[in-house]
Amino acid sequence: MASRSSKWRDKNRTFLQYIEIQNSSNLGITDHLQVSTDLPQVSADLHNPSENVPLHMDISTSSDCSNNLSVGELSPYVESTSSSDSSDPSGSSDSNNEVEVNTRNLLPDLAKWALTNNLSHSALNGLMEVLRENVDQELPKDARTVLNTPRQVSFCKKCGGEYIYLGIKEGILRQPKIKYFVGEKISLKINIDGLPLFKSAGTEVWPILGMVEKQSPFVIALFCGEGKPKCVADFMKDFLEEYSHLVQNGIQIDEHIVKAFEIKCFICDAPARAYLKSIKGHTGYNACERCTTTGEMDGSTMTYKDLNSSLRTDEKFADFDYPEHQHELSILCQYGIPCVKFFVLDSMHLIFLGVTKRMLYRLKSGPRLCKLSQRQIDTLSNSLSVLRNTLPSEFARQPRSLKWLKRWKATEFKQFLLYTGMFVLKGVVNADVYRHFLALSVSVSVLMYFKPEEENYLNLFNFTKQLLKWFVEKSSDLYGGSFVSYNVHSTIHLHEDVENFNCGLADLSAFPFENFLHRIKKMVRKSHQPLPQIAKRIQEMEKTGVDFVSKVIHTKVRSVLKGNRDAWFLTSNNKICEVLDVKGKEISARLYSFKKTRSYFDEPVDSKDIGICVLLENTTFKESTIYTTDIKKKFVAIPTKNGMLLIPMLHNLEL
């Protein structure tokens, strides 16, 4: 493995090669390139509560970075001119080229590049040293000058740790597209969760995050200390006071536009919901947040097998009518925030990391009642391995063997439940287990996106209510009584969030916030004073205009096809489309009739009712030219013995 110093020598060599431009004996001049990028400068003044006495400090961070700077990122900033002596009979050019660097364009883009690639200050200092030695322009020495790093960060001691409040309104106004927001009301999704910063220490950061629809999350407040904030009322006070003010007065976007404001929902995992609502944790006897069922111990597991208990209401919760469920009256109730309906049951933690993971663990290493044989486990693992590099390019992770089950991420459990599981489990597990798995898979697929305008959707939606209830009831028989834990029981309430908010589970997911939390963790370089480090990195990004998280994944029809895995679509007139070539907006394709496909399963519903089908090898087709606007959905295409299994993708489609 190359040492860190050798990596930096390679980087320096790259810069020198493209900054010290050599004369060409044939051309006499070098390419003259200009940069037209005009980066917006976003105001990012930190807002501090007036009642808190600030402490000021400077902090600099250092860490090694392995990011490589490409030629394409450097060459636009180098302007080179050369002149040849017309009297020279040899036609040789002047050996002393004048190299000029357009620092006005270079520095903002260099800052953006450094922040996008999470470059440390020490690494950027090394880069600036190389540039200063090799160009004839005044350049800053320090990374803090390039990145506009604030000299001081104001924070206060609060709730047993350090705390900084940045503000709801300030975060919303910093969103790049907020001026073009066309809705009458700005609805904010809120996420609050704990994030351990180090493996060998108990230091945690608890950010309050907000997200406007179709925008990136932003930080409203930050707490850093040993464990969670000691007093939830103090922790939430600044947030709730500003929330109350914005609900009454709205948000002024510019001189002429004032938008109404509301909180749409809180998206948190079960421990964070219990903390904010001041209720029993997910292992308590009365832990269910939606109904009044009472748990019972099965071995060492608290189970909730009563599925017909009365539902909880926001009115009774606010009146403290559930003393067996509530520790105390939550401060959220004092500000009129409904604590039952406004706290969604996040599908990422509940379904993918909860139920799906629990099922696979039981099948691999559970009790004798449900444990698969080693031969069956090997068959599943081999099937998953065969599917590597067959899923469309929108999937960040390709399937992995059950050997790595302990390392699977939430996206992999989601992938298994919605796409690959129905294929690899078929013929390996018994019919009852397979039917039980499909009940959850079909239900979640229907609930992921709320589409009441589509034919037969409402019938499917109503059917999922019964199907999820059957799934929980049958779980005890297939996986043992201890299987029906808090997460498994809570699946019977999933449809309630879809009805309450008129949107699918995908719009109420914690995935965007989890990606953001991962970015926050990478902002901390060392254990000394982590909160100021995070605050400074946030302000650097806001001033530079760097987005905190990657964009929402879209299916691009016009993208370069990467083999057969990206070639299958459904048209608006229900024709299966196998793309052969794309030229502009024109698509050369083979068109198959959906009616000529076969169902992949017929229980608990006919698979074709939710768009899942098998296209046989000998199916007739018609070659034709269609347009990108004719595309409706993209398929996950899995090769089978006699054809192709086609499963509609649940990603967004971008034409």
Distance CA 126, CA 524 (A): 20
Across residues 193-215, what is the average pLDDT? Answer: 90
What is the sign of the dihedral through the CA atoms of 358, 362, 366 and 370? Answer: positive
The string of pLDDT tens digits covering residues 360-406 is 999 999 999 999 999 999 999 999 999 998 999 889 899 999 999 99
Cβ within 8 Å of residue 180, ≥6 positions away: none
Residue type, position 193, single letter? D
Q: Which ranges constitute the DSSP H helices of 269-313?
A: 270-277
Tokens of 378: 């090997």
pLDDT at position 127 is 83
The verdict on whether omega for the bond into residue 604 sits within 30 degrees of 0, i.e. cis, is yes
Mean pLDDT of 448-464: 90
pLDDT, average across residues 171-190: 82
> pLDDT class for 14, splitting at 50, 70, 90?
very low
Q: How far apart are CA 148 and CA 155, in angstroms?
A: 19
Looking at the predicted structure, is the pLDDT value of residue 85 above 90?
Answer: no
CA atoms within 13 A on the CB side of 229: 26
The tally of CA atoms less than 13 A away on the side-chain side of residue 608 is: 12
The set of residues, in sequence order, having a beta carbon less than 8 Å from that of 203 and lying 6+ positions away, is 196, 197, 224, 225, 226, 527, 530
For residue 407, the one-letter residue type is R
What is the domain partition of the chain in residue ranges? 108-147, 156-278+328-341+513-544, 348-507, 557-648
pLDDT at 624: 94
More confident residue, 384 or 107: 384
Tens digits of residue pLDDT in 25-48: 333 333 433 433 333 333 334 344
**Is residue 615 very low, low, confident or very high in pLDDT (cuts 50, 70, 90)?**
very high
pLDDT of residue 87: 42
Least confident span in 74-83, 194-203, 536-545: 74-83
List the single range of 116-125, 196-205, 510-519 with lowest mean pLDDT.
116-125
CB-based contact 98:32 (threshold 8 Å): no
Residue spans of beta strands (DSSP E) within 294-338: 296-298, 301-303
| Residues paired with 162 in a beta bridge | 157, 224
The C-alpha atoms of residue 537 and residue 523 are separated, in whole angstroms, by 7
pLDDT tens track for 269-324 = 999 999 999 999 999 999 999 999 999 999 999 999 999 999 999 999 999 999 99
Strands (E), 378-465: none
Tokens of 187: 């609805």
Q: What is the pLDDT of residue 1?
A: 47
Query: How far is residue 1's CA from residue 354's CA, in Å, rounded to a whole number?
Result: 39
Q: Letter for the amino acid at 246?
A: L
Residue 176 pLDDT > 60: yes
Q: What percent of the chain has pLDDT over 90?
A: 58
**Exposure letters 88-108 (e unless 16+ CB within 10 A, then b):** eeeeebeeebebebbbebbbb
Helix (H, G, I), strand (E, B) or coil at 211: strand
**Is the per-residue pLDDT at 475 higher than 90?**
yes
Query: Nearest-5° angle of CA 527, CA 531, CA 532?
Result: 100
Query: 381 or 543: which carries more pLDDT confidence?
Result: 381
d(CA 63, CA 526): 8
Q: Which residue type, as a one-letter code, is found at position 434?
A: Y
**CA gap 510, 347 in Å, rounded:** 8
pLDDT level of residue 431 (50, 70, 90 thresholds)? very high
Residue 652 confidence class, pLDDT cut points 50, 70, 90: low
pLDDT of residue 529: 84
Question: CA-CA distance, 14 to 22, in Å (whole number)?
Answer: 14
What pLDDT was estimated at residue 124? 83
pLDDT level of residue 557 (50, 70, 90 thresholds): low
Percent of the chain topping pLDDT 70:
80
Question: What count of Cα atoms within 13 Å lies in the side-chain half-sphere of residue 643?
Answer: 17
pLDDT tens per residue, range 596-611: 999 999 999 999 999 9
Q: Can you tell me the distance from the alpha carbon of 551 to that of 284, in angstroms, rounded to the nearest whole number?
A: 39
> Count of H helices and E strands in the chain?
21, 22
Of 256, 196, 243, 251, give the one whose Cα is nearest residue 517: 196
Q: How many C-beta atoms surround the C-beta of residue 59 within 10 A?
A: 17
- CB 437, CB 418: distance < 8 Å: no
Write the CB contacts of 321 (distance below 8 Å, at least 6 apart in sequence).
none
Residue carrying the six token digits 């071995």: 299
pLDDT digits (tens, 9 = 90+) for 496-517: 999 999 999 999 999 999 999 9
Predicted confidence band of residue 15 (pLDDT cuts 50, 70, 90): very low
Higher pLDDT: 17 or 466? It is 466
Mean pLDDT (the chain, rounded): 82
Q: Which alpha helices (DSSP H) does 263-409 contain, by range?
A: 270-277, 314-318, 331-334, 347, 357-365, 374-386
Residues 6+ apart with CB under 8 A from 11: 68, 69, 127, 130
